[in-house]
């Protein structure tokens, strides 16, 4: 267990080893953030309903902006400019997927997502886009259902993708039927947020519970997508899905700055078969090390069954241990400790 713990420690340390050095928060925002309104009225109105197409990058990002804007009051006490909003992790990761070419049609059958053709298209054949659907549309619908957005579910329509329509859901009642557990876990998060007694640690706990609950269904249902990728990218996808559980157990605080730092360790483009870490040309040494660590973690997890994750969860179950972890981690970063005003 000690060996395992240090591995994961190292992994998460690497994942965040770079420090955000940008000079203003807006430079950290995900692509097209400033181009979406943060209001449901920013979507086109047709026959009295707002039309949302989550297979268009800016539409899906628009859902995130509504979520971030409407939940800002609940994070205001933790820092200015909504920087401490823990929902930042989601649009930031979606933005990373876009920038690194992970939302394009991996089969090459269409021009969906390719620069100069259909740049804003989000491909239903992209594994990343499919999994992200359950981390964007689902939290949005649960937020609508919990009342936190002040939007009613009959005000808008969510459009289906061109393929595999039945693997997704499009409204509150439909999603409760298809993936009730995902809806429940996000609803729990949004309800907790509105409690006067909610605190940062509790928010993290509920957020990560909802995040991990959202992955089980898409990861099994979209396993057919792996075939569209190189073996290296497929391994990365699978190891990433495993690593998320470890990051979740440590309650990684997915604020704007921390998520930004974290992303510097992630591969800047889709992997080819010839990309063998730690020797990938044009990747930073951090990016190479992260990939290597992810492979190691995936191997350990597979070798030990669920044992290693359980051991890690036990280790991380005390707030003291998690605090120690973050300290080590920030010392590793050489970053100023703690949040704001420091
Ligand atoms: C929800 O979506 C399902 C499937 O797309 C549809 O059959 C149903 O009428 C929708 N319900 C509402 C309330 O819009
Ligand atoms: C690395 O970058 C150089 C210069 O930008 C480029 O010519 C080369 O093809 C890249 N190598 C790989 C493996 O991507
Ligand atoms: C986040 O990063 C921005 C830009 O580097 C910085 O101005 C701000 O103080 C940071 N905020 C926190 C809470 O660390």
Q: Residue 338 pLDDT > 50, yes or no?
A: no
Q: Which comes out higher in pLDDT, residue 25 or 4?
A: 25
339 lines ligand 3 (CB under 6 A): yes
Q: What is the mean pLDDT of residues 46-61?
A: 97
Helices and strands (H, E) in the chain, number of each type:
13, 3
Q: Residue 6 pLDDT > 80, yes or no?
A: no
**Residue 104, pLDDT score:** 98
Report CA(241)–ligand 2 centroid distance (Å): 28
Among the listed ranges 73-77, 191-195, 198-202, 336-340, which one has the minimum average pLDDT value? 336-340
Query: Which of 174, 177, 179 to mutate to test ligand 1, by most ligand atoms within 8 A of the CB atom?
Result: 174
Position 289 confidence tier, pLDDT thresholds 50, 70, 90: confident
pTM: 0.88
The share of the chain scoring above pLDDT 70, in percent, equals 88
CA end-to-end distance (rounded Å), the chain: 35
> Of 26-40, 126-140, 237-251, where does the model show the most confidence?
126-140
Residues 6+ apart with CB under 8 A from 81: 25
Position 117 confidence tier, pLDDT thresholds 50, 70, 90: confident
Minimum CA distance residue for ligand 3 atom 11: 340
Residues with CB under 6 A from ligand 1: 170-171, 173-174
Instruction: Tell how far CA 294 is from the center of its chain.
Output: 17
Minimum CA distance residue for ligand 3 atom 13: 340
116 lines ligand 2 (CB under 6 A): no
CA triple 75-100-217, angle to 5 deg: 65
Nearest C-alpha neighbor of 118 from the set 30, 34, 56: 56
83 lines ligand 3 (CB under 6 A): yes
Report CA(174)–ligand 1 centroid distance (Å): 6
Residue ranges of E strands in the chain: 44-46, 49-52, 156-158
Instruction: Tell how far CA 296 is from the center of its chain.
Output: 22
Phi, psi of 133 (to 5 degrees): -55, -40
Residues 6+ apart with CB under 8 A from 24: none
**Residue 334, pLDDT score:** 40
Ligand closest to the CA atom of residue 268: 2
19 lines ligand 3 (CB under 6 A): no
DSSP-H helix ranges across 214-284: 216-221, 231-249, 256-263
Q: How far apart are CA 256 and CA 72, in angstroms?
A: 13
- Residue pLDDT, tens place only, 172-203: 999 999 999 999 999 999 999 999 999 999 99
Q: Which comes out higher in pLDDT, residue 339 or 162?
A: 162
């Amino acid at each position: 267990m000690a060996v395992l713990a240090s591995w994961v420690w190292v992994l998460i340390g690497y994942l965040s080893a770079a420090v955000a050095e940008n000079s203003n928060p807006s430079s950290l925002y995900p692509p097209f953030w400033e181009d979406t309104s943060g209001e449901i009225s920013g979507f086109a109105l047709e026959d009295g309903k707002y039309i949302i197409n989550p297979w268009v990058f800016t539409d899906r990002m628009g859902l995130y902006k509504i979520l971030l804007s409407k939940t800002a009051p609940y994070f205001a006490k933790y820092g200015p400019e909504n920087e401490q909003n823990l929902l930042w992790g989601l649009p930031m990761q979606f933005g990373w997927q876009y920038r690194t070419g992970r939302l394009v049609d991996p089969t090459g059958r269409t021009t969906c997502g390719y620069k100069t053709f259909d740049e804003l298209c989000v491909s239903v054949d992209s594994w990343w886009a499919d999994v992200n659907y359950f981390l964007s549309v689902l939290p949005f619908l649960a937020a609508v259902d919990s009342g936190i957005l002040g939007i009613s579910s009959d005000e808008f329509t969510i459009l289906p993708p061109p393929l595999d329509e039945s693997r997704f859901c499009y409204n509150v009642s439909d999603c409760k039927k298809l993936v009730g557990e995902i809806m429940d876990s996000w609803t729990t998060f949004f309800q907790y947020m509105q409690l006067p007694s909610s605190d940062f640690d509790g928010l993290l706990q509920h957020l990560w519970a909802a995040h991990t609950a959202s992955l089980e269904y898409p990861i099994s249902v979209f396993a057919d997508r792996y075939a569209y990728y190189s073996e290296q990218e497929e391994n990365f996808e699978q190891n990433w899905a495993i690593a998320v559980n470890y990051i979740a157990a440590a309650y990684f605080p997915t604020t704007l700055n921390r998520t930004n730092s974290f992303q510097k360790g992630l591969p800047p483009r889709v992997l080819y078969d010839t990309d063998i870490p730690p020797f990938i040309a044009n990747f930073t040494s951090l990016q190479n090390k992260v990939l290597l660590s992810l492979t190691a973690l995936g191997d350990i997890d597979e070798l030990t069954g669920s044992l290693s994750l359980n051991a890690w969860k036990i280790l991380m179950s005390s707030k003291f241990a998690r605090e120690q972890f973050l300290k080590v981690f920030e010392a590793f970063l050489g970053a100023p400790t703690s949040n704001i005003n420091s």
